[in-house]
């Protein structure tokens, strides 16, 4: 049965020109160089133009693009974007083979590849090379992500969202294959490699474990991004890489001079970190668009994204300190808040919020995050309660750069912590919001539990803000430094900070430099320092220069968008940097033309769009789409027992109809316990608490020491159970436990040691009073 009326279906032909993708990844310490080769074959009887819109990491520096037809290889040049487009159109219209690679103007993690005038029966291998930094995770690993999922981005009617509006997706597997190999090398020994996908056995190439290789097992279905986690020994040691420049580059240019990449890991004084903030305004912004009804993953026991977000909100609300301020916003095509403005956190307001959380659904249409953010920023901040914004979204936004500019313009008044939920969340949006909002970004994909990552970010949000950050360089006589990275506006305990800088001049003989980061933390001056060797590191190619150029290009682009006076001058500087460094930018494109090829083309070329896998379960939406219609992309229609894929033109904005509920997963006893805690930190002694422990209320009451109040006994039992039975999930309940211990400490309790012993006997645990933090 067809579920939507008046929708034009454009059937895809059976022949898809992209046949395979082969990826080689070379990880050197904190940087990855990725080479992807896309194999195209035209199996039709006429010339084709193939279009492929695909994702890349948000901060990738694309530095090489080439095409090989038969034995002939054509290496692309970086040119001004308009000039490159004109050259491509001219070449294709005259029957020449041409290849064009462009970065989306709306979202820097989306690219479009145009393969023009591919003759009947012809093969073409297109190679794209990019460099990207690896982010440090909470478990000290470095995360490499090869994006394989590209979700359609919500584009409001009339917004003209360019390349992101061309994202096309299909139901089910894409018709091309992926092979992937990884080579890791580092001065530090490699402890292990982990992945969310199946890997062949790891092979160490050196006895000291400083080099290793691993391959992706065959059969990747493109239903999730490929994630690799690299564990080194001593990952959190500060480091510096100095890279020599190109002698043929213009004197004084970025590519001519040496460039240094500094990795710093600030260590805050213990006395500051021992007491987290008890004040703050916590604003939770929850994506309630239709796509949040998709599953977190496709395995057993998966929850819908919105349900996982609701569980996480419960944990967050229970973890907030008494007396802070909070509010919760839901957004889609419109937005709503639980309270007209942020309210004081107490038992009454917490109960009101939890009631509303239980009623939340993914029923608010498309993904328009700009309006709620503008409204939040228009609200006055509370004195002595720093604003902390926590944003949960699957990141399917078409106006990414507009959102990032808004966050940056209010960076002085808040910190922004962002969470990308599910496969295909826009890395540009998630990492960009955190970067511009002086916060921290997390991605929750595959079978990840959302709660541990969110609670880590809450710990960051409760850390005192670092202010007055100043970077000082000490270099030998004759050398000067020009910092290429934007000013540091955020530091967190244990999190890496990267600095790129250009070294100018000639050293008079010294071989060491020093970079010093000074800042204030709770009115205390703090200094972190790194001494580094000025001798260039071997075998880095030009990766550091290109990452530095990409960083500088991004800064210039933002300066241009922010209303700078010399817009044309900034654009010209971006184009010059892009061409000199050979890296992509929004104002340039890679263009390659095979001038030896020329064929007669009658009429317009047949155009074939290559599908990118979309993780949303489109077929679940085919049984009625009320009111809002379908967003742009490929949707699925049920006709008899067959799935028909169609290219949908937008009538309106977003999906609303998705699967109503996921199958009941096993009862989560931890969340059940947390849901029973009072805002003050205590628990009531009742049957619902006893049920969590697998006991009856009478068993709890009969074992209660005579001199102890029922709530104190209940709270002690909850703490003992957490430390005795759920210690592996401590990151999730750490603040719940801190509140509980603080509450017990405020009560007049006699012999606590005797109470803890009685509790251990009742629950079958062996937890000491000291462990409980009372």
| Domain hosting residue 532, numbered range | 239-272+467-578
**What was the pLDDT predicted at 207?**
93
- Reduced to 3 DSSP states, what percent helix, strand and coil does the chain have, rounded to the nearest 5? 25, 30, 45
Residue 126 lies in a domain: yes
Residues 268 and 362 both lie in one domain? no
Question: Which of the pair, 270 or 191, is modelled with greater confidence?
Answer: 191
Residue 326 lies in a domain: yes
What percent of the chain is predicted at pLDDT more than 70? 85
Span 86-113, pLDDT tens digits? 999 999 988 889 999 999 888 888 899 9
Work out the burial of residue 704: count CB atoms within 10 Å of its CB; fewer than 13 is exposed, 13-18 middle, 19 or more buried. Answer: buried
C-alpha pair distances (Å), 664 with each of 81, 129, 301, 311, 768: 52, 44, 8, 14, 36
**What was the pLDDT predicted at 601?**
55
722 pLDDT more than 70: yes
**What was the pLDDT predicted at 299?**
72
**pLDDT class for 633, splitting at 50, 70, 90?**
very low
Residues 268 and 291 both lie in one domain? no
Residues 130 and 112 both lie in one domain? yes
623 pLDDT more than 50: no
**pLDDT class for 14, splitting at 50, 70, 90?**
very low
Residue 148 lies in a domain: yes
77 pLDDT more than 80: yes
Span 418-459, pLDDT tens digits? 998 887 788 889 989 998 888 888 888 767 778 888 888 888
**What was the pLDDT predicted at 3?**
32
Residues 440 and 419 both lie in one domain? yes
**What was the pLDDT predicted at 631?**
27
Q: Which two tokens stand for residue 314?
A: 């419960």
Tell me what the pLDDT averaged over the chain comes to.
Answer: 83
Residues 82 and 135 both lie in one domain? yes
C-alpha pair distances (Å), 570 with each of 115, 250, 252, 565, 575: 31, 19, 18, 9, 9
Residue 91 lies in a domain: yes
- Other Cβ atoms closer than 10 A to 672: 13
State how far the Cα of 485 lies from the Cα of 197, in Å rounded to an integer.
34
Residues 450 and 408 both lie in one domain? yes
The most confident of the ranges 449-453, 618-622, 742-746 is 742-746
Residues 508 and 623 both lie in one domain? no
638 pLDDT more than 80: no
Using the 8-state DSSP alphabet, how is residue 46 labeled? S
Residues 305 and 405 both lie in one domain? yes
**What was the pLDDT predicted at 160?**
55
13 pLDDT more than 90: no
Residue 162 lies in a domain: no
641 pLDDT more than 50: no
* Stretch 394-408: mean pLDDT: 85
- Give 375-406 as a DSSP string: HHHHSPPBTTB-EEEEEEE---BS-HHHHHHH
Closest C-alpha to 187, from 211, 213, 204, 203: 211
Residues 446 and 479 both lie in one domain? no
199 pLDDT more than 90: yes
State how far the Cα of 463 lies from the Cα of 457, in Å rounded to an integer.
10
* Stretch 691-716: mean pLDDT: 93
53 touches 22 (CB < 8 A): no
* Cβ neighbours of residue 735 closer than 8 Å, sequence gap 6 or more: 318, 319, 320, 455, 458, 459, 462
What percent of the chain is predicted at pLDDT more than 90? 47
82 sits in which H/E element: helix 81-93
Residue 609 lies in a domain: no
**What was the pLDDT predicted at 371?**
93
Q: What predicted TM-score, i.e. pTM, was given to this entire model?
A: 0.78
Residue 772 lies in a domain: no
- For residue 520, the cross-strand partners are 467, 525
Question: Looking at the chain, how many residues does it have?
Answer: 774
Looking at residue 125, which CATH number applies to its domain? 2.60.40.1730
Residue 705 lies in a domain: yes
Helices and strands in the chain: count of H runs, count of E runs: 16, 36
The number of folded domains in the chain is 5
Closest C-alpha to 578, from 58, 77, 71: 77
Question: Which of the pair, 676 or 651, is modelled with greater confidence?
Answer: 676
714 sits in which H/E element: helix 710-725
650 pLDDT more than 90: no
605 pLDDT more than 90: no
Looking at residue 488, which CATH number applies to its domain? 2.60.40
Looking at residue 399, which CATH number applies to its domain? 3.40.50.410
* Cβ neighbours of residue 385 closer than 8 Å, sequence gap 6 or more: 279, 280, 281, 324, 325
Residues 520 and 589 both lie in one domain? no
**pLDDT class for 472, splitting at 50, 70, 90?**
very high
Using the 8-state DSSP alphabet, how is residue 621 labeled? G
Question: Which of the pair, 668 or 298, is modelled with greater confidence?
Answer: 668
Among 294-298, 480-484, 590-594, 719-723, the least confident range: 294-298
**What was the pLDDT predicted at 187?**
86
CA angle 37–42–47, rounded 5-degree value:
120
Question: Which of the pair, 411 or 5, is modelled with greater confidence?
Answer: 411
Residues 108 and 212 both lie in one domain? yes
- Give 307-362 as a DSSP string: HHHHHHHHHHHHHSPTT-EEEEEEESSSEEESSSS-EE-SHHHHHHHHHHHHH--S
* Cβ neighbours of residue 497 closer than 8 Å, sequence gap 6 or more: 263, 264, 265, 266, 488, 491, 517
72 pLDDT more than 80: yes
Residues 501 and 527 both lie in one domain? yes
Span 358-377, pLDDT tens digits? 999 999 988 889 999 999 99
Question: Which of the pair, 628 or 683, is modelled with greater confidence?
Answer: 683
C-alpha pair distances (Å), 155 with each of 167, 333, 393, 507: 11, 10, 16, 53
């Amino acid at each position: 049965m067809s579920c939507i009326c008046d929708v034009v279906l454009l059937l895809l032909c059976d022949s898809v020109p992209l046949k395979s993708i082969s990826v080689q990844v070379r990880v050197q310490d904190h940087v990855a160089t990725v080479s992807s080769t896309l194999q195209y074959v035209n199996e039709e009887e006429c010339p084709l133009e193939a279009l492929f819109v695909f994702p890349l990491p948000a901060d990738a520096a694309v530095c090489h693009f080439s095409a090989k037809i038969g034995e002939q290889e054509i290496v692309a040049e970086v040119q001004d974007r308009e000039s490159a487009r004109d050259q491509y159109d001219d070449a294709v219209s005259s029957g020449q083979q041409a290849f064009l690679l462009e970065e989306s103007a709306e979202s820097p993690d989306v690219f479009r590849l145009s393969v023009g005038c591919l003759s009947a029966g012809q093969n073409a291998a297109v190679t794209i090379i990019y460099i990207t930094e690896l982010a440090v995770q909470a478990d000290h690993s470095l995360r490499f992500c090869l994006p394989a999922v590209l979700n359609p981005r919500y584009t409001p009617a009339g917004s003209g969202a360019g390349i992101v509006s061309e994202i096309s997706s299909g139901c089910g597997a894409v018709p091309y294959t992926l092979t992937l190999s990884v080579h890791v090398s580092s001065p530090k020994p490699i402890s292990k490699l982990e992945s969310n996908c199946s890997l062949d056995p790891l092979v160490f190439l050196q006895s000291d474990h400083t080099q290793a290789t691993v391959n992706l097992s065959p059969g990747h279905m493109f239903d999730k991004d490929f994630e690799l986690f690299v564990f080194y020994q001593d990952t959190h040691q500060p480091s510096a890489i100095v890279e020599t420049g190109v002698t043929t580059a213009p004197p004084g240019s970025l590519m001519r001079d040496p460039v240094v990449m500094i990795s710093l890991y600030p260590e805050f004084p213990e006395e500051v970190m021992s007491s987290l903030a008890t004040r703050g305004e916590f604003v939770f912004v929850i994506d309630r668009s239709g796509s949040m009804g998709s599953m977190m993953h496709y395995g057993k026991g998966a929850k819908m994204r919105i349900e996982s977000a609701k569980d996480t909100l419960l944990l967050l609300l229970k973890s907030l300190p008494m007396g802070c301020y909070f509010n919760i916003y839901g957004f889609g095509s419109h937005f709503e808040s639980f309270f007209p403005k942020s309210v004081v956190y107490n038992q009454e307001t917490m109960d009101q919020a939890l009631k509303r959380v239980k009623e939340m659904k993914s029923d608010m249409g498309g993904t328009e995050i700009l309006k709620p953010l503008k409204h939040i920023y228009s609200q006055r901040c509370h004195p002595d309660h720093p604003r902390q914004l926590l944003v949960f979204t699957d990141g399917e936004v078409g106006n990414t750069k507009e959102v990032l500019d808004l966050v940056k313009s209010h960076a002085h008044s808040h910190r922004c912590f962002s969470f990308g939920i599910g496969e295909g969340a826009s890395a540009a949006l998630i990492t960009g919001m955190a970067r511009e909002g002086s916060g921290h970004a997390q991605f929750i994909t595959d079978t990840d539990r959302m709660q541990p990552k969110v609670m880590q970010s809450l710990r960051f949000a409760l850390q005192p803000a670092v202010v007055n950050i100043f970077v000082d360089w000490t270099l030998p006589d004759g050398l000067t430094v020009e910092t290429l990275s934007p000013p540091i506006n955020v530091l967190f305990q244990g999190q890496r900070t990267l600095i790129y800088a250009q070294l100018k001049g000639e050293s008079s003989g010294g071989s060491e430099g020093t970079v010093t980061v000074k800042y204030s933390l709770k009115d205390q001056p703090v200094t972190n320092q790194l001494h580094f060797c000025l001798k260039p590191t071997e075998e880095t190619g030009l990766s550091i220069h290109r990452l530095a150029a990409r960083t500088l290009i991004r800064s210039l682009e933002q300066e241009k968008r922010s209303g700078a006076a010399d817009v044309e001058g900034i654009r010209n500087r971006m184009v010059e940097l892009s061409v000199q460094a050979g890296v992509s930018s929004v104002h340039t494109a890679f263009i390659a033309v095979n001038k030896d090829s020329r064929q007669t083309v009658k009429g317009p070329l047949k155009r074939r769009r290559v599908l990118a896998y979309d993780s949303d379960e489109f077929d679940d939406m085919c049984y009625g789409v009320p009111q809002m219609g379908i967003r742009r992309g490929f949707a699925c229609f049920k006709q008899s027992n067959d799935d028909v894929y169609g290219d949908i033109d937008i009538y309106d904005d977003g999906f609303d109809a998705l699967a109503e509920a996921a199958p009941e997963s096993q009862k989560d006893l931890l969340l059940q316990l947390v849901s029973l805690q009072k805002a003050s930190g205590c628990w009531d002694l009742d049957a619902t608490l006893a049920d969590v422990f697998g006991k009856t209320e009478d068993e709890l009451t009969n074992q209660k020491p005579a001199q102890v109040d029922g709530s104190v006994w209940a709270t002690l039992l909850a703490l003992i159970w957490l430390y005795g039975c759920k210690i592996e999930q401590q990151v999730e309940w750490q603040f719940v436990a801190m509140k509980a211990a603080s509450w017990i400490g405020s009560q007049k309790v006699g012999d606590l040691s005797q109470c803890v012993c009685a509790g251990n006997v009742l629950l079958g645990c062996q937890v000491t009073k000291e462990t409980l933090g009372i």
